[in-house]
Amino acid sequence: MRLFLAQKIYKFYGGDEMTSIIFSTHRVESGVVKGVGGFADRLKGFAIARLISHALGKEFRVEWDSPFPLSDNFTLHDGTWHTPLDDKTSTITLDLIDEGVDVLNQKLADLLSGEYREKNIKIYANILYKPQWEVLLRYFPSFLVKYNELDCAVHDTIKSSLEYTPRDTCMELLDKFNESISAHSDVIALQIRVGGERTWRDPPLSDPNDVPEIASKIIDMHGKIPSAVFVTADSRIVKQSAASALRMLGVQNIIYHDFEEIHIERSINTDRFLVDMTILDFICVSKCNITYFGRGDFGRIAAVYGMKPYYSYL
């Protein structure tokens, strides 16, 4: 309804066609494909692009087709999947990736000031933190009325736009997960990122040898033995090690999916099954009562997606 009214107002004041904000993961420069980020980073980019489209009254489109279309796992509401736009309306590209905070925020300020109002704007982005939120509020303070904090804005923007619609195999696993946690009132998620089992183009992150210490630390942070723990990690060995350490600490119910979670850009193997399973783990984390996360933003953004509290154990 808001988009329909915005289109009517735009045409009333002489516009031929409403222009669009296009969030794109198809980042190519001089024929070279450049990185955008992993699943959580892309969702942050999705969120800031969606907020910008709301602020400027532009239609919102999504171009996310690698390694597989996002439409394989999500139904898009409050926007459309991107198709080539009418050539009559010019499109500019705004790259907000790999910039220093000051440069990024200035680009964002230029955009919000209306400099490109008559153009379609294709946005590459993978970040949305407090400095960018403050720029948005500077130009559109009404956001603070709707969203009392950044996490609320990210949650509402992503959750209202993307409805998880898993494939059959993931649906069965999700049903089993929901059944497993339904009997427990204190289910926590533990997310560990070590950089894969030599299958990520990534520097070492958390040390796999530190898993027992991490398990002990989150129990101390939680203040009691939780009734169940869901473990997600980019290594099957790390998942098994964490499960073993948690059992030694007295946790009776431990849940994990026996596969290696991947990075959708940096992993060597990004086949469809592993992409689907990684997104499934994200959804499962979002359903836990509290998330304890380490390196990367996968666990934190999953908690925000579910509007649940999160804490870093680092």
130 and 46, same domain (yes or no): yes
SS3 content of the chain, % helix, strand, coil (to 5): 45, 20, 40
Domain boundary among 129, 164, 199: 164
Same-domain check for residues 155 and 7: yes
Q: In the structure encoding, which two tokens stand for residue 253, read together?
A: 């119910």
Number of domains in the chain: 2
**Are residues 71 and 182 both part of a single domain?**
no
Q: Are residues 183 and 197 both part of a single domain?
A: yes
- 295 and 202 fall within a common domain: yes
HSE, side-chain direction, 13 A CA sphere, residue 253: 15
- What CATH code is carried by the domain that includes residue 289? 3.40.50.11350
Q: Looking at the structure, do residues 100 and 24 belong to the same domain, yes or no?
A: yes
Same domain, 136 and 220: no
Instruction: Say yes or no: 22 and 88 in one domain.
Output: yes
Same domain, 19 and 156: yes
Beta carbons within 10 angstroms of residue 132's beta carbon: 21
Which of 138, 164, 190 represents a domain boundary (last residue)? Answer: 164
- Residues 136 and 96 sit within 8 Å (Cβ to Cβ): no
CB-based burial, 22-32: b 16+ in 10 Å, e otherwise: bbbbebeeeee
Q: Residue 10: what pLDDT? A: 39
Same-domain check for residues 140 and 187: no
- State which of 143, 164, 185 marks the end of a domain: 164
Specify burial of residue 179 (Cβ count, 10 A radius: 0-12, 13-18, 19+).
exposed
Q: Is the same domain home to 189 and 84?
A: no
Domain shared by 103 and 216, yes or no: no
> Which structural domain range is residue 141 located in?
2-164
In tens digits, the chain (314 residues) has pLDDT values of: 444 434 443 343 334 457 899 999 999 888 888 889 999 999 999 999 999 999 998 999 999 998 999 999 999 998 899 876 555 567 888 999 988 889 999 999 988 887 777 789 999 999 999 999 999 999 999 887 788 789 999 999 999 999 999 988 899 999 999 999 999 999 999 999 998 876 676 666 788 999 999 999 999 999 999 999 999 999 999 999 999 999 999 999 999 999 888 888 888 878 899 999 999 999 999 999 999 999 999 999 999 999 999 999 99
